Structure 1
């Protein structure tokens, strides 16, 4: 099911929450890989809003358990405002990251929009990591490992209140897919909060089709479906250009099926594409794969049957 959609590309060129530099170049790499033209080929109206601006990365050690907290807050507030503005005009925001700490600004804006219009929210978090850390659980202090926890109300005050309501979302609205790297304390916390996680073992045992059927279950026309796609979700063999590679991710075919099944619902309403790091990539290979998979979210299909 494909509908003519109006999409706005929003670049967020920062690696402020990450442990490696380079994700700040992600938005440009996606543009170089012809994301806009790929979407236009599927009848999508594309407006590139250019890049947001925010504080530069001071590359400092953590303070009180958080690295770059004020800069992360500033970037997320800017992302929140930009995403929220697009949703208000009826356009679909595609946030081009940047590191995954920005999922906080993006999803808090989506949640706020859903409150405004009375819609339910479902978040698909496609990632190798649960990103459900707190300063008490992670020694690094890198906030790109914390956005889901912050969205669920666990984190520093200035971050958790960005969307105007604490918590911004309920863990029950989230489905995490492809997870395969979780710290021990984080694992306990995820289980306590009853986050629904389809890890790689689950995908290996049950297959991507069954996984996605469950992750997409009970969606209806009153559901806003948000996909937060961390490129490290993919196996590093096909997507080497990320700062935190974890072997054993979904193959190209599994990822295609995942995206095609999301597209089939017709409910995709906002998207993040995060953690693409061209500095670690091979000839923009990862950006090209990402664009290919985003095309599948917009109706490119391998199906031959009618």
Structure 2
């Protein structure tokens, strides 16, 4: 069976002061909470939630190991400085998914994300394989958010033989039909068949390739802004294989010509400034292949900047 543990990680890290809040780090301000035992929470609040699973990656014939990422990402978050006095930070623990129980784990995860939203907090989800996106979306589905996916792959494969880390957005498109709004940024022509590009169009999705991000970033930004104008709410998801393997080697499917971290930050700021964000997840850090934990460190710093933008622009 799948299991929820609210206290699965023990936070610790560097201490510069035990009394001066301006010198505090994440591990000194974060509080662990049990989502099964809360009914309300002080706003505004960030709640971290982990998805310890790579069954979807396994089914997609990728390199397994992402189930260990939530703990490693937290390790590198722990000693980052905390800058936001008016923002509350909580850790709601992890869902651990048994081998072969992906669908059960995704359903359990959706319920936990739904709970986070119901108490007025903003969920930041730590994958796990990118199959976590189906669980995250399930928790906010009733809000009907548009999806912005930073990814080298469309993840819209057919799923007649079962779900995987490569099928989530086809599943979502089939479920919500005409409400489906999807923009993929950083897509790799060398990583997706022509059929997958065609499926994205058939579903009504849009995309910008990594090459377009490098060659004409302003055009990409204009496209993002146009997409945002059509959306009342935004769910943003990041698969770490969108980044060049030079900065993110610890993933299931490394990509040598991926985008760079500054590309992401520049694009994400435009998304956050709308104040329409409702959820964020980051997926497919694989500690088994991560030289010097570079990919986990990058994921932690991305989350830092996500929190910084939420502190500035708010969330729904």
Q: Shorter-chain TM-score: which interval?
A: 0.7 to 0.9
TM-score for the superposition, normalised by structure 2: 0.75
Tell me the equivalent position of 2:47.
8
Structure 1 residue aligned with 2:15: none
What is the deviation of 1:39?
7.8
Q: Does 1:132 align with 2:156?
A: yes
Q: Aligned match of 2:66 in 11, 17, 23? A: 23
Match of 1:255 in 2: 264
Q: Within the alignment, does 1:46 sit opposite 2:89 as a pair?
A: yes
- Which residue of 2 is the match for residue 85 of structure 1? 115
Q: Per-residue deviation at 1:264?
A: 2.7
Contact 1:226 1:270 in 2 (8 A): yes
Higher relative contact order, chain-length normalized (CA < 8 Å, sep 6+): 1
Shift in alpha-carbon separation, 1:169–1:90, aligned structure 2, 3 A: farther
> Where does structure 1 lack aligned partners over 5 or more consecutive residues?
58-67, 115-119, 154-166, 301-306
Of 90, 93, 96, the match for 2:126 = 96
Q: Who is 1:174 aligned against? A: 182
Identify the residue that residue 195 of structure 2 maps to in structure 1.
185
Distance 1:169 1:84 in 2: 21
State the superposition RMSD in angstroms: 2.5
Contact 2:172 / 2:180 at 8 angstroms: preserved in 1? no
Distance across 1 between alignment mates of 2:223 and 2:152: 19
Q: Counterpart in 2 of 1:287?
A: 296
Shift, 1:213, TM fit: 3.2
Encode CA deviations 1:29-73: one digit per residue, 9 max, x unaligned.
1101116x6484334311101111332x2xxxxxxxxxx4xx111
Q: 1:278 aligns with which of 282, 287, 297?
A: 287
**Greater CA drift, 76-85 or 184-193:** 184-193
Aligned with 1:124: secondary structure? strand
**Distance (Å, rounded) in 2 between the aligned partners of 1:218 and 1:135:** 27
Number of aligned residue pairs: 261
1:195 equivalent in structure 2: 205
Equivalent position SS for 2:235: strand
Contact 2:77–2:301 under 8 Å retained in 1: no
Structure 1 residues 222 and 242, CA, compared in 2 at 3 Å: closer, same or farther?
Answer: closer
TM-score with structure 1 setting the length:
0.78
Offset at residue 265 of structure 1 (A): 2.7
